Amino acid sequence: MSKPRKPATIAAHAAGAIDHAAAGVVPPVQTSTTFLRNEGYDLVRPDNIYLRDDSDTVRHAEEVIRQLEGAAETLFFPSGMAAIAAAFRPLKAGEAVLVQSDIYYGAKKWITGFCERRDIAMHLIDASDAEALAAACAKIKPAILHVETPSNPLLKTIDIAKAAEAVQAHGGLLIVDATAATPALMQPLALGADIVMHSATKAINGHSDVLAGVLSANNAEGPHWQAIKLDRHDAGAVLGPFEAWLLIRAMRTLPLRVKAMTENAGVLAAHLNAHPAIDQVLYPGLPDHPGHALAAKQMSGFGSLMSVLVKGDASRALEVIGKLRVFLRATSLGGVESLVEHRPTIEPQSGLPENLIRVSVGIEDIDDLIADWDQALG
């Protein structure tokens, strides 16, 4: 048997997605909503009935992520939030969930409302404290423990292996939002997670032109995963073929892009951390970051997301942001272009430090990125 292929090879070949009919080296976009039956009324392709759940293009995209995650099965959704919602929707009234307190604000907002409507008890926890997490799992016995690592925007690092042990000991599932890590830097399923989630809108697509989300599971036969899959089919929250095709195209360079972004982020974080106008840089790649050793253990790189706390108040943070020329002022992360965002303006109720600037580092030349911050900091 041949050796298993390395991630860069899987990605570059889009897990073997070629056009068999035309002998093209890339797959076509197949947009048909419905599929033919023959004279005997048998499906010409038994795996293709109707686009709501049968799409070669979406399946190709899923196969790339499945192989990169080392998953049993992968499902794409039309957004990251649709993927998170799909992961929670099989829960029943009376169950409990445990959710990391400092996760992506949109996820916390939706999960909170969903749990209220469904009579599901939602508990919040600082999941970076592994002992507190184990104690909370023993007490609450959550059906789902949902964590995000590194977290957005505080860059907390969660011990996935310990979190998995803690929740699985009481019959629950661990879901890891690994958007900031990407499948190029971390494999949560191999560390014990039951389901790994990504907003593919971010680095998986990486070109800021596709909205998508993805879930991968280490056990395709589990009842929770089966319910997620059935609901995607029946309720119809599916990705369109054009988006899937763009994702296949983009994911060919995922390891390459993430490597370049991570290298840039490491250099920029060290530079800003030593800058007199900066109070603190939150980035797991910095040796003084509380999650540094753990991130070094469970990730193969520290990623491209960081938060920068400038010396001064909100107006000083906004002044610096306003002066940046290479970094674009926009929400989102993981794209080839560097972005900055003043999260406290977006989430005024969050209690985030008012001088916090979230930074997503792209693939530009590092000299331009550093020069841009130096001139903006003045």
Ligand X SMILES: *Cc1c(COP(=O)(O)O)cnc(C)c1O
Residues 6+ away with beta carbon under 8 Å from 274? none
Residue 342 lies near ligand X (rule: CB under 6 A)? no
At its nearest, how many Å lie between ligand X and the CB of residue 156? 12
Interaction between residue 81 and ligand X (CB under 6 A): yes
291 lines the binding site for ligand X (CB under 6 A): no
Query: Is 66 assigned a catalytic role?
Result: no
202 is catalytic: yes
Q: Does 360 bind ligand X (CB under 6 A)?
A: no
- DSSP label of 342: -
26-65 binders of ligand X (CB under 6 A): none
**Site membership for ligand X, residue 307 (CB under 6 A):** no
At closest approach, how far in Å is the CB of 337 from ligand X? 16
Among positions 188-247, residues that touch ligand X (CB under 6 A) are 199, 201-202, 211, 213
Look-up of token digits 């879901």: 175
What's the distance, CA 188 to chain centroid?
A: 11
Residue closer to ligand X, measured from CB, 80 or 362 = 80
CA dist 184 and 200 (Å) reads 13
Nearer to ligand X, 152 or 338 (CB): 152
Report the first-to-last Cα separation within the chain, whole angstroms: 59
Shortest Å distance, C-beta 158 to ligand X:
12
Q: Which residues of 103-140 are buried (b: 16+ CB within 10 A; e: fewer)?
A: bbbebbeebeebbeeeebebbbbebbebeebbebbeeb
88 binds ligand X (CB under 6 A): no
* By CB under 6 A, residue 79 contacts ligand X: yes
Q: Binding ligand X by CB under 6 A: which of 80, 153, 266, 284? A: 80
- 125 DSSP β-pair partners: 100
Q: Which of 56, 66, 102, 104 is catalytic?
A: 104
Q: Is 373 in the site for ligand X (CB under 6 A)?
A: no
Strand partners, 151: none
Among 177, 194, 354, 372, the residue binding ligand X under the rule CB under 6 A is 177
CA distances for 165 relative to 161, 171, 177, 192, 279, angstroms: 6, 10, 17, 8, 36
Q: Does 303 bind ligand X (CB under 6 A)?
A: no
Site for ligand X in 139-168 (CB under 6 A): 148, 152
Which CB sits closer to ligand X, 333 or 377?
333
194 annotated active-site: no
* Nearest in space to 305 (alpha carbons), one of 291, 322, 323: 291
Q: What is the Cα–Cα distance from 236 to 86, expressed in whole angstroms?
A: 11
Residues facing 123 on adjacent strands: 98
Residues assigned a catalytic role: 52, 104, 177, 202
Q: Which residues bind ligand X (CB under 6 A)?
A: 79-81, 104, 106-107, 148, 152, 177, 179-180, 199, 201-202, 211, 213, 333
